[in-house]
A and B are shown apart, each in its own frame.
Chain A
């Protein structure tokens, strides 16, 4: 039977059920179930999981000035962005103003994270949904060289000999019996459309990206004092600046600043000469694969980030745009206020929790915690071994965050749609340029590949912003301001007895918020609503489906037992799963299992 959701999707769960479940040791990862009709088209999608391990258990009673160090360990990839969100929340609660240099340095660190994450996500993970490295072994290096020079004439690494060397290296790697890269792929699936030369070009850039990413993280080492796990500081940044090299050991001097400058140039070049051209070239072969739009054409949300000036988070002062679009109306961008109890609310009607008042949504400052694990009457399997979920009942450990009641997509595509709708000059030029080059209409953006393209464009834009803040900081230092921290309110005796605050950032994968309550100098409550909570959310009180669920609807799956189409779209969100744990195991376990019923 078909039912229509309030956000406009026709659900029918009568067809064959496909379960995609990443198998790992920790329970409760993201899992996805879909129904397909006789033509292999998805008619119902169910996303479930935990993905987040609320921090309040361990942060309660701790010193708010230490919260960043804990939040930095939430996740193996987004360490810095959690730390930044955390110090912003504490500063907001206590009314702490940071100096100009600290704002520039934090922006450069956050931008480095964006660029690093986007590039690594594309080349290390997502490209394998489109690129077949096994096929690359069949490529003609000369033809690959010609393709490279056509796609990106400015990229210096393009000789036939270069591609032949890479091909030999790949071959050696495969023949060593490692299988490595090639393990677990669906390499003979007809969904892969690239000619061998494009596969070799992209695989080669995967190796180039590995080298580049090592440089990018040096920005964190320089400004954060160390890497991995850079240091952060409530009130500013923990690195003193001393361009005359006469001050404290470890202060940032001109030599280190010059290194940052050269890394910014490397990123700019890579984004312009490799990343964006690759997305255009690969996208060109898949230009008719326009699935996966989901909520992107209907409802998107961005908190915005990268403030031009310190302590000013007003929307017009943010380089990454803030705003909400609902009902697909790009002519109206709503402002977003994370303090407003009527805006961001979490619902639990389809999540394994109960609220005192059923059907109600709660703002993060007033969140309730009453776990209630119960499978619906139509679920199959047992409590500890679920075969099929019953999405009409509770079915996920993720709550359903909503903005004024609307299910929202967050992430690079959401930011770019908000930016485009607001007439953000840089974003509009980039998007129009890309669509023009590929001869695609604007609505092509609302797709899996649109998400992938927005990430590439944003990586390039972030490189330019890095340059902007580098120059701004240098000018500020030249003007005699070397200050990087404000410690006036470091001592808890200067704090009010009770305070609450919110920190917002745009993490690589979307809008991230930390809400904190401080009492008697200690953390009373700490709440994080992370991007994948938005995107991976279950249905809500009204029956609106979440962004992952919506994005899978109507997609044709060629081989249900090899659902590369489902993985493509879920990967395009760069989902944040039960990260941060990895126990060594004897063999390369199958990370994803697929069951067709």
Chain B
């Protein structure tokens, strides 16, 4: 346990819900809001893919817990927990676009400004499928939401924060029209909306296992 319990905790779900398992982090935060009663000093947030927009929220936090899809070359559907300096942060100068400003850059920027959260934990899941635009979580990744939340509760306990069953209200979650059940349930059939191609995007057919 840290010497002093963090005063302000941010729990952030990162990722793009439109890209299948990329939405893992966001869906974890959603699920946590509906299953856990968190104390008032803990803020739950859907961070999407907002990059620098998230900097102010990082700066406000003494402790940060992040759910995200990770690529560590693990068996798909495997969870991994990283803490503090083990969480990768980097900034690249050769980015082609601002849109490549990932969450890791935000972490590095907070460090450069010397305002990074004192405690940092990443709970990540190796994705099964990313390249299915409009798709939802694959079963083995969806099955890791509950274990990921259990890990988060353990982690919060080591920070001196108790979590009870219940619910947490948050204005920082996704609009109701793209929450997981509505989003995944409302997907048109492959006959109505071709999965393997549309006007802009066509992943190779072998990669689409919708």
Residues of A bordering B, CB below 8 Å:
22, 24-30, 50-54, 56-58, 60-63, 66, 69-70, 72-77, 79, 117, 120-121, 124-125, 128, 169, 173, 178-185, 207, 210, 213-214, 217, 225-229, 231, 352-353, 367, 369-371, 373, 383-384, 397-399, 527, 533, 567, 570-571, 574-588, 590-592
Contact = CB atoms under 8 A, between A and B. Distances in A.
Nearest to A176: B111
Contacts, number: 269
Contacts of B174: 69, 229
B199 A399 contact: yes
Contacts of B46: 228-229
Interface in B115-133: 122, 124, 127, 130-131, 133
Interface stretch (B50-58, B141-149, B159-167): B50-58
A228 B92 contact: no
Contacts of A227: 53
Nearest to A564: B94
A594 B63 CA distance: 39
15 contacts: A52-B200, A73-B178, A75-B99, A76-B51, A125-B97, A180-B111, A213-B52, A214-B55, A228-B50, A228-B53, A398-B200, A579-B99, A582-B103, A585-B71, A585-B88
A230 to B, nearest CB: 10
A370 B197 CA distance: 8
B201 A182 contact: no
Nearest to B26: A73
B78 interface: no
A34 B90 CA distance: 29
A370 B199 CA distance: 8
B99 A183 contact: no
A28 to B, nearest CB: 7
Interface of B: 14-19, 22, 45-56, 59, 68-72, 87-104, 108-109, 111-114, 122, 124, 127, 130-131, 133-134, 171-172, 174-175, 177-178, 186-188, 192-204, 207
Contacts of A179: 90
Given A54-B199, A57-B194, A63-B177, A183 B93 contact: yes
A495 to B, nearest CB: 18
B130 A584 contact: no
Given A77-B99, A586-B72, A371 B52 contact: no
B194 A588 contact: no
CB-based closest 3 A-B pairs: A579-B99, A588-B90, A371-B197
A410 B77 CA distance: 42
A69 B178 contact: yes
A27 B131 contact: yes
A25 B197 contact: no
Contact of A210 (B14, B55, B111): B55
A73 B68 contact: no
A57 B104 contact: no
A138 to B, nearest CB: 18
B111 A587 contact: no
A577 B99 CA distance: 7
Nearest to B90: A588
A2 B72 CA distance: 47
Most buried by B among A75, A120, A121, A125: A125
B50 to A, nearest CB: 4
Nearest to A125: B98
Contacts of B130: 25-26, 581, 583
B48 A229 contact: yes
Nearest to B108: A180
A60 B190 CA distance: 11
A505 to B, nearest CB: 18
Most buried by B among A229, A367, A369: A229
B96 A30 contact: yes
A56 B199 contact: yes
A592 B94 contact: yes
A57 B136 CA distance: 13
Contact of A27 (B90, B122, B203): B203
A74 B133 CA distance: 10
Contact of A128 (B15, B19, B89, B93): B93
Given A76-B49, A76-B50, A580-B16, A180 B99 contact: no
B93 to A, nearest CB: 4
Contact of B70 (A231, A369, A585): A585
A225 B175 CA distance: 12
B100 A584 contact: no
A213 B109 CA distance: 13
B95 A582 contact: no
Given A53-B201, A214-B56, A580-B99, 14 more contacts: A50-B201, A52-B200, A61-B188, A69-B178, A76-B48, A207-B113, A226-B171, A229-B46, A353-B199, A527-B199, A581-B19, A585-B72, A590-B92, A591-B95
